[in-house]
Structure 1
Amino acid sequence: MKTYKYPAVLTIAGSDSGGGAGIQADLKTFSALGCFGTSAITAITVQNTLGVTGIHSIPPAIVQGQIKAVMDDIKPAAIKIGMVHSVELVQAIAETLQQYAYLPVVVDPVMVATSGDKLIEDSTISVLKQQLLPLAEVVTPNLDEAQILAGIPIHNLEDMKKAARLILDTGCKAVLVKGGHLQGPRLYDVYLHQNGSEQVFESEAIASNNTHGTGCTLSSAIAALLAKGADMVTAIIQAKQYVHQAIDKGKDVKTGEGHGPLNHFFQPQKLEKYELD
């Protein structure tokens, strides 16, 4: 009898009790795209569609233990990193991932929730840039996060390109600056690679109040598609298409009184199987 394996992905992120972002959104995304999801929880948030009212940090040794337990047994093919809000956690994760440097890492530098609540300590930002971003195959900041990482204000597409170049100086292989917070009928994302290649992705804006977890979902989708063998640009294009449809298919649904979630399962794929070598 032949033996198979699933394309597995690890998310290292915080838990969202409201189910729209964080670990919950990541696992939904992995499943919807035909991957087996695993997790290492960095924090437990008290959160719903209206905002974040509390954060309980998981001890760094426990986070390290979760990562190693998954990596050494299930052996995922890609890693997504989301909310890492303390210096100690950044250092613990960076130290642990040095052992698995052969895997693509997608870093979504979660700093501010859709509700506007801050999700990272100020002292953590410089350590994140020094220790975690250099491990990334791609970093996926939104405009608020890109302004913090690059240290410049962003008002237009040219500012996005300038910020991408500055973030690239942290040592990551590539950066995708997401322009969803710019006002206008069209959305622009800027992709820049260390090899000098640059690409601007354009899409139509969707009027919806249900955008909670969009960044988590996009970075998770990129990681899932990389785990399935896609190259980076293809993974980004397909991940953007998935998020666009997930927003569109969930725009008329009311979940809670604030910013609702995407419809992650608008067209779920079957869990894929690959024959073991």
Structure 2
Amino acid sequence: MTPTLTPPVVLSVAGTDSGGAAGTAADLTTLAALGVHGACVVTAVTAQDTTAVHAVHAVPPAAVAAQLDAVLGDLPVAAVKTGMLGAPAVVELVGQLLPGTPARPLVVDPVLVATSGAVLGDAAVVAAYVDVLLPVATVVTPNADEARALLGRAPDDPTPAQELAGELALLGPAVLLTGGPDPRDEDPAGAQPCCTDWLALPGVQPRPLRHPRVATRNDHGSGCTYASALAAHLAHGASLASAADRAAAYTARQLLRSAAWRLGRGRGPVAHLHPLPSGEPA
């Protein structure tokens, strides 16, 4: 066996998904696929499948703090990715102990609503994100619904995604507002429909990052996968724009891989499978 260099470490601070599609399941498999050692701090245990979140058991803040102490006291964490945090006290704890720095970027995926529609973060959680966590984050990766919630806008607010990204960047972090499938959003070259993410830096006009749209209902866990891939590439030293492009490309590949799957009764999982290295047995 050929020896390999020690990989960078990325810490996932997130909840579990018993269906194996999102949360720590998506984070750790994505990190491993992209050459990163994943550590994890569990913030909540969910009873979840492709149709719904049936129950949530929040991990007490003291236990979250103990997990953080164990990881930070032993491993050289190169980047941090947060997912479902669940409680204001946990949001505040992460903001205090894991602020983003050039040496250890903090990727915040503000998980407020599950793919199934279940609310995973109430108004107090949103306030803690805005007041404590976003100002110290390196980059935040909301979808349009999460961006509206963080900005205090109604769910049906018509503000375009580009403007939402710019307004959210005024809170401090860089913003990668991820765009879902939109038939009106076509590749400028006319080749195929695409999705547009918006990259916004504080005080800078947001710019579009376009990538192919994958036609699939098997997208449960895609937000976690994207944010984890972003953290992995940042841990490898990529610039934010390059990491964003690579994360989008990786997520699209995994969506294509699972597009024809028949798993679960609801929105199926994005693929966490990866080709085996040549010559290794299955």
TM > 0.5: yes
- Report the CA distance shift for 1:154/1:19 in structure 2 as closer, same or farther (over 3 A): same
Corresponding position: 1:13 with 2:21? no
How far apart in 1 are the matches of 2:160 and 2:100? 36
**2:147–2:177: 8 Å Cα contact kept in structure 1?**
yes
Higher-helix-fraction structure? 1
How far apart in 2 are the matches of 1:152 and 1:56? 28
Percent identical? 37
How far apart in 2 are the matches of 1:33 and 1:65? 27
Count of aligned pairs between the two proteins: 268
Q: CA deviation at 1:199?
A: 2.1
Instruction: Pick which of 117-126 and 234-243 moved more.
Output: 117-126
1:42-83 CA-partner distances (Å, limit 9, x unpaired): 000110111101110001111111112112211121000110
> Structure 2 length as normaliser, TM-score?
0.88
1:136-155 CA-partner distances (Å, limit 9, x unpaired): 11100011101111234688
- Report the CA distance shift for 1:99/1:247 in structure 2 as closer, same or farther (over 3 A): closer
- Report the CA distance shift for 1:58/1:24 in structure 2 as closer, same or farther (over 3 A): same
Corresponding position: 1:51 with 2:59? no
Q: CA deviation at 1:5?
A: 2.1
Amino acid at match of 1:180: G
* Local SS of the residue matching 2:15: strand
How far apart in 2 are the matches of 1:268 and 1:135? 38
Higher-strand-fraction structure? 1
- Report the CA distance shift for 1:248/1:98 in structure 2 as closer, same or farther (over 3 A): closer
Amino acid at match of 2:120: L
**1:15–1:24: 8 Å Cα contact kept in structure 2?**
yes
Q: CA deviation at 1:157?
A: 10
- Root mean square deviation, CA, Å: 2.4
Q: CA deviation at 1:129?
A: 0.8
Matches within 5 A, 1:102-251: 102-152=103-153, 159-172=160-173, 174-180=174-180, 182-184=182-184, 185-194=193-202, 196=204, 198-251=206-259
How far apart in 1 are the matches of 2:46 and 2:93? 20
> Structure 1 length as normaliser, TM-score?
0.89
How far apart in 1 are the matches of 2:158 and 2:246? 22
* Local SS of the residue matching 2:225: helix
Structure 2 residue runs without a partner (length 5+)? 185-192
How far apart in 2 are the matches of 1:101 and 1:201? 23
**1:78–1:226: 8 Å Cα contact kept in structure 2?**
yes
* Local SS of the residue matching 1:211: coil
Name the counterpart of 2:67. 66
How far apart in 2 are the matches of 1:53 and 1:106? 27
* Local SS of the residue matching 2:226: helix
How far apart in 2 are the matches of 1:155 and 1:56? 30
Pairing partner for 1:266 from 262, 269, 274? 274
How far apart in 2 are the matches of 1:239 and 1:4? 22
- Report the CA distance shift for 1:269/1:42 in structure 2 as closer, same or farther (over 3 A): farther
Q: Which has the higher contact order (CA 8 A, sep 6+)?
A: 1
